[in-house]
């Protein structure tokens, strides 16, 4: 689809946002498609380069960590004039049911579980909306609703699904 006087994507950074918002919907849809495609391409390119970097330095970084007696964390490698900072973050997951039992044991022994663990409560929204009104009203003061970033999809020449 060719639109006469179509604004090139590269011109957008020099335009005021209000001027862009005033463009016809079909031009906005095409600009958004172009921007999304550039983003996908850039992400693919970054993933490709990141993969090459991991291939080049991954084993050396693991050897350096091993030499320092650690499985995770940050090590520095030198490759000519380049200092490679290789980080392998530690991600810890805890079995929630087991933690709950341990918290109860600590409490039963007369100690304060808060000295050992952080305790957080959450209420899934689907459960909250299924509660009877009287229960929801009790919890309402403890509930805060925030919105996320708005998203818009512009479909050009096709119907929304």
Given a contact cutoff of 8 angstroms between Cβ atoms, the answer to whether 26 and 149 are in contact is: no
Can you give the pLDDT at residue 1?
A: 52
Q: Where are the domains of the chain?
A: 9-88, 96-142
Which pLDDT tens digit goes with each residue over 89-120? 998 889 999 999 999 999 999 999 999 999 88
CA distance 81 to 50: 19
Q: What's the whole-model pTM score?
A: 0.68
What is the chain's mean pLDDT, rounded? 91
Tokens 């335009």 belong to residue:
15
Query: Which residues, including other chains, have CB under 8 Å from residue 79's CB and lie 6 or more apart?
Result: 57
Determine the pLDDT at residue 159: 60
pLDDT above 70 covers a percentage of the chain that reads: 93
Q: What is the pLDDT of residue 5?
A: 78
């Amino acid at each position: 689809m060719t639109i006469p006087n179509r604004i090139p994507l590269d011109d957008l950074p020099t335009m005021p946002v209000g001027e862009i918002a005033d463009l016809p919907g079909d031009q906005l849809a095409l600009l958004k498609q172009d921007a999304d495609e550039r983003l996908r391409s850039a992400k693919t390119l970054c993933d490709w380069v990141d993969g090459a970097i991991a291939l080049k330095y991954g084993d050396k970084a693991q050897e350096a960590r091993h030499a320092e007696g650690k499985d995770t964390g940050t090590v520095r490698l030198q490759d000519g004039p380049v200092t490679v900072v290789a980080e392998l973050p530690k991600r810890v997951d805890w079995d929630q049911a087991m933690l709950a039992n341990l918290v109860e044991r600590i409490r039963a022994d007369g100690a304060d579980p808060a000295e050992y663990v952080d305790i957080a409560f959450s209420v899934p929204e689907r459960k909250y909306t299924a509660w009877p009104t009287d229960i929801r009203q009790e919890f309402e003061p403890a509930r805060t609703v925030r919105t996320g970033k708005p998203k818009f999809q512009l479909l050009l020449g096709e119907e929304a699904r």
